[in-house]
Amino acid sequence: MRKALSVASECAPLIKTGGLADVAGALPAAMKAEGWQLRTLLPGYPAVMAAVKRGHVVWEEPDLMGGPARVVAGKASKLDILALDAPHLFDRKGAIYLGPDGRDWPDNPERFAALSWIAARLAIDGVENWKPEVVHLHDWQAGLVPVYLRDMAGNDAPGTLLTIHNIAFHGHAPAERLTSLRLPASGFHPGGFEYYGRINALKAGLVYADKLSTVSPTYAEQLLLPEFGMGLDGVLRSRRADLTGILNGIDTTVWNPAEDPLVTAYKSPKRKTANKAALQLEFELPGSKGPLAVVVSRLTEQKGLDLLLEALPAFLRRGGQLALLGAGDDVLERAWLAAAAEYDSVGVRIGYDEALSHRLIAGGDAIVVPSRFEPCGLTQLYGLRYGTIPVVALTGGLADTVISANDAGLKAGVATGLQFHPVTASALTGALLRLCDLYEDTQVWQRMQRKAMRHPVDWASSAPRYAALYEALGNAE
Ligand code: ADP
Ligand code: GLC
């Protein structure tokens, strides 16, 4: 087996705030099938340290950005974990990126620079005779790795691939922290990791990693545009030749309607009814002739759920219903709770609840994902697999994974969902009303459901594409 080190700030099922965790958690198994052994370096948050409590220490560092640190190797949930045990950085209660005041931890630059510095050290020196050929970095939290690698080993460093899951977060730090973050001053210029006078960890990765990828082909194109590049589109255009879009897959053992222990399992979409009835009961929704749409999402600007609030009245008038599970921005949480109080046909749960997310995906007729931008998106993939028709914005990975029920799509019998464009409340309203029309035509609806359930959503086609990138990096040495 060839060896790769994956460096991420979250990894399912150990610690998760979003899809990045799912992908970091799924890659090792997917890549094993391609002949690559992945070990995953994670921050030693309490949940991670608990998961590797039977592990053993493979590295010690007397002073890592303000305190002692060690790396503990252990197996957890079939994953080969290297946990960076640095209590001064990671042993904290609460959210992994945010302090109790709801703002980023002030030392986030140090926390993830420490993770990146250790990643570089381990990659160069190896761990108990295990030395990676490739280092796979995820998002800004691992962005500094290629800078440290160059600094420590020059051209002898292993190849690096940076995957962009979310370009909205850059990992900024003031220039004064250069020394405390162990960064070479020689890289602090506009062609390096400087960004308008500050250190920018994501930009560091975009400039210095050998290859770049993002999580869908459409988003790889969109990232080159000012509209989506979030200030880094220029850097990305300069690296266009090294940037690829590789679609995310989902874990089809966890998300399998035929064997899901969290719902009434089903093979045929006709058998979804028990789940729908249970969901209506759970959310106290009245019986209705229209479709039950569901949402499972972070409540942030990205996800466009304010547009869905605007589109609701017209959808409800047509007999539609909505059940939402989400957490995030205060304003959005309050607005959704107010909608639930106003309309009988709207049910809302604020919080993070894995089991409830399965009941929603299984019980819904449709799943709505009205994102303003979406690198890939996973919940529309769950929807497809469960015969829960996705209604999605035509953007990023949503554009690549759903086949629209426009006239051509329906005629050819290939449609799996609905796409709307532009991403506005009125276009979304149009899509929801069309959903109601399609739902009334049982034959068309069931055909779409069957087609959706057969759409490939696993890692089978994406893993070989990552393997090809790893291969190119490994050989480049
Ligand atoms: P993002 O990573 O931008 O949040 P994705 O669609 O890629 O979007 O991944 C989100 C993941 O988090 C999915 O697995 C989704 O089911 C899960 N998720 C989001 N919000 C919740 C919630 N409130 N409760 C349970 N799971 C959630
Ligand atoms: C990000 C994106 C999401 C993607 C996930 C996993 O959080 O917002 O679209 O599916 O990463 O790659």
Write out the DSSP string of 60-84. Answer: EES-SSSS-EEEEEEEETTEEEEEE
Nearest ligand by distance to the CA of 379:
1
Question: Is the CB of 376 within 6 Å of ligand 2?
Answer: yes
Ligand 2 centre distance from Cα of residue 429 (Å): 25
Domain spans in the chain, listed from the N-terminal domain onward = 2-249+460-475, 269-454
CA 462 to chain centre: 15
- The whole-angstrom separation of Cα 242 and Cα 469 is 10
CA distance to 4, 90, 171, 308, 324, per residue, from 404 (Å): 38, 44, 36, 19, 23
Which architecture characterizes domain 269-454 according to CATH? 3-Layer(aba) Sandwich (3.40)
Residue 209: in which H helix or E strand, if any?
A: none
Query: What is the Å distance from ligand 1's center to 227 Cα?
Result: 24
Q: How far is the CA of 420 from the centre of ligand 1 (A)?
A: 21
pLDDT-above-70 percentage for the chain? 99
Establish whether residue 399 lines the binding site of ligand 2, counting it when its CB lies within 6 angstroms of any ligand atom. Answer: no
Ligand 1 mean position, distance from CA 460 (Å): 22
How many Cβ atoms are within 10 Å of 217's Cβ, its own excluded?
16
Report CA(81)–ligand 1 centroid distance (Å): 23
Which ligand 1 atom is the nearest neighbour of the CA of 380?
A: 6
Q: What ligand has the least distance to the C-alpha of 163?
A: 2
Cβ of residue 374 lying under 6 Å from some atom of ligand 2: yes
Q: Is 449 near ligand 2, meaning CB less than 6 Å away?
A: no
Gap from CA of 255 to ligand 1 centroid (Å): 13
Atom of ligand 2 at shortest distance to CA of 20? 6
> Residue 168 C-alpha to ligand 2 middle, in angstroms?
11
Number of neighbouring beta carbons within 10 Å of residue 248: 24
Q: Given ligand 1 and candidates 294, 296, 329, 372, which is best to mutate, with the most ligand atoms within 8 Å of its CB?
A: 296
Decide: 288 and 260 in contact? Cβ < 8 Å: no
Q: Is 18 in the pocket of ligand 2 (CB under 6 A)?
A: yes
Six token digits for residue 230: 């979030």
Q: Are 119 and 7 in contact (CB under 8 A)?
A: yes
Q: Tell me, which fold does domain 2-249+460-475 have in CATH?
A: Rossmann fold (3.40.50)
CA–CA distance from 287 to each of 122, 208, 310 (Å)? 58, 57, 23
Whole-number pLDDT of residue 477: 43
Q: What is the DSSP string of 110-122?
A: HHHHHHHHHHHHH
* pLDDT recorded at residue 155: 87
Residue 324 Cα distances to 69, 253, 254, 283, 321, angstroms? 41, 24, 21, 9, 10
| Among 163, 246, 376, residue to substitute to test ligand 2 (most atoms within 8 Å of Cβ) | 376
Helix (H) or strand (E) holding 297, with range, is strand 292-299
Q: What whole-number distance in Å separates Cα of residue 378 and Cα of residue 372?
A: 15
C-beta of 166 in contact with ligand 2 (< 6 A): yes
Helical pair 462-475 and 19-32, crossing angle rounded to 10 deg: 70
| Per-residue pLDDT at 422 | 98
Residues 295-330: b if buried by 16+ CB within 10 A, e if exposed: bbbbbbebbbbbbbbebbebbbebebbbbbbbbbbe
Report the distance separating Cα 251 and Cα 237, nearest Å. Answer: 32
Residue nearest to atom 5 of ligand 2 (CA): 19
pLDDT at 475 (0 to 100):
62
Task: Evaluate: CB of 358 within 6 angstroms of ligand 2.
Answer: no
Q: Which residues line ligand 1 (CB under 6 A)?
A: 18-20, 22, 296-298, 325-327, 352-354, 357, 376-379
Residues of the chain where predicted confidence (pLDDT) is lower than 70? 475-477
Cα 301 to middle of ligand 1, angstroms: 14
Domains 2-249+460-475 and 269-454 share a fold: yes
Distance 185 CA to ligand 1 centre (A): 38
Pocket test for ligand 1, best of 10, 260, 357 (most atoms within 8 A of CB): 357
Please report the atom of ligand 1 found closest to the CA of residue 12.
Answer: 14
Ligand 2 mean position to 393 CA, how many Å?
A: 15
Helix 108-125 / helix 145-153 crossing angle, nearest 10 deg: 40
